[in-house]
Chains A and B, each alone.
Chain A
Amino acid sequence: DGGITQSPKYLFRKEGQNVTLSCEQNLNHDAMYWYRQDPGQGLRLIYYSQIVNDFQKGDIAEGYSVSREKKESFPLTVTSAQKNPTAFYLCASSPPAFADTQYFGPGTRLTVL
């Protein structure tokens, strides 16, 4: 089945550690996105990538890094520089024909202890 997968569903890390969240899609979508969701808030854009080997900062990129070495994969690293990393992280992708419609993965809930 085609879709977007994020792993793991729940992730726990100690403060000060970097952690990488996985996002994979087999939909042949060109663009991929990372969002952060906090309780009672909408989604805020962290990073996005429209093509392989290229990505741009979103509204809240500080403390995060990404890579886009393959079309199917867009991992997000939450670094120790991110002051409040505990949140729900959602990955999305959009198809080339409808670049503005995004489809989402199941999300990863990160808790930093």
Chain B
Amino acid sequence: AQKVTQAQTEISVVEKEDVTLDCVYETRDTTYYLFWYKQPPSGELVFLIRRNSFDEQNEISGRYSWNFQKSTSSFNFTITASQVVDSAVYFCALSEASRDDKIIFGKGTRLHILP
């Protein structure tokens, strides 16, 4: 069974629209970490955020915000006022304390921001 599910394979929005990328995870650990990474066309994965399982506070960083809800096992990522430079593949990932810090990646969501 997939541990990290990103149901949206590909999304296209017009520039300046808001967009939310969904992530649902599955774990039996009580201690775990969730991540979002951005992969622009150059290929390198860029770390965006790390959230531990004991911190359910939502986080905002500029135009980026993250909504962590343990009750629904979701860690969604919202980009407000999207820009063309936001076009990339975004990966949600999970690290479980019982798995030696190994990260499990979702399959990614390809985001197209149209000018």
Residues of A within 8 A of B (CB): 31, 40-45, 48, 50, 56, 58, 88, 90, 92, 94, 98-107, 109
Given A42-B106, A42-B107, A101-B35, residue A94 in contact with residue B101 (CB < 8 A): yes
Inter-chain contact A106/B105, CB cutoff 8 Å: no
Check if B43 sits within 8 Å of A106, measured CB to CB: yes
Please give, as numbers and ranges, the residues of chain B lying within 8 Å of A109 by CB-CB distance. 43
CB pair B50–A100 under 8 Å, yes or no, is yes
Q: Determine if B95 and A103 form an interchain contact, defined as CB atoms under 8 angstroms apart.
A: no
Residues of B within 8 A of A (CB): 4, 9, 33, 35, 37, 42-47, 50, 91, 95, 100-103, 105-108
- Contact between B50 and A98, CB atoms less than 8 A apart: yes
Q: Which residues of A contact B44 (CB under 8 A)?
A: 90, 104-107
Is the CB–CB distance between A100 and B101 below 8 Å? yes
Q: Which of A58, A90, A99 contacts B101 (CB 8 A)?
A: A99
Q: How far is the CA of A47 from the CA of B18 in the complex (A)?
A: 38
B54 to chain A, nearest CB (A): 14
CB pair B43–A41 under 8 Å, yes or no, is no
Which residues of chain B are near A103, meaning CB under 8 Å?
Answer: 47
Q: A90-B44, A90-B45, A94-B101 are in contact. List 11 more A-B contacts (CB 8 A).
A: A42-B106, A44-B105, A45-B102, A56-B100, A98-B50, A100-B101, A101-B33, A104-B44, A104-B46, A104-B47, A106-B42
Task: Enumerate 26 A-B pairs (CB-CB under 8 Å) in ascending A order.
Answer: A40-B9, A40-B108, A41-B107, A41-B108, A42-B91, A42-B107, A42-B108, A43-B45, A43-B91, A45-B102, A50-B100, A58-B102, A90-B45, A92-B45, A94-B101, A99-B101, A100-B103, A101-B33, A101-B50, A103-B47, A104-B37, A104-B44, A104-B45, A106-B43, A106-B44, A109-B43
Q: How far is the CB of A61 from chain B (nearest CB, A)?
A: 13
Task: Name which residue of chain B comes closest to A35, CB basis.
Answer: B105
List, in ascending order, chain A residues with CB within 8 A of B33's CB: 100-101
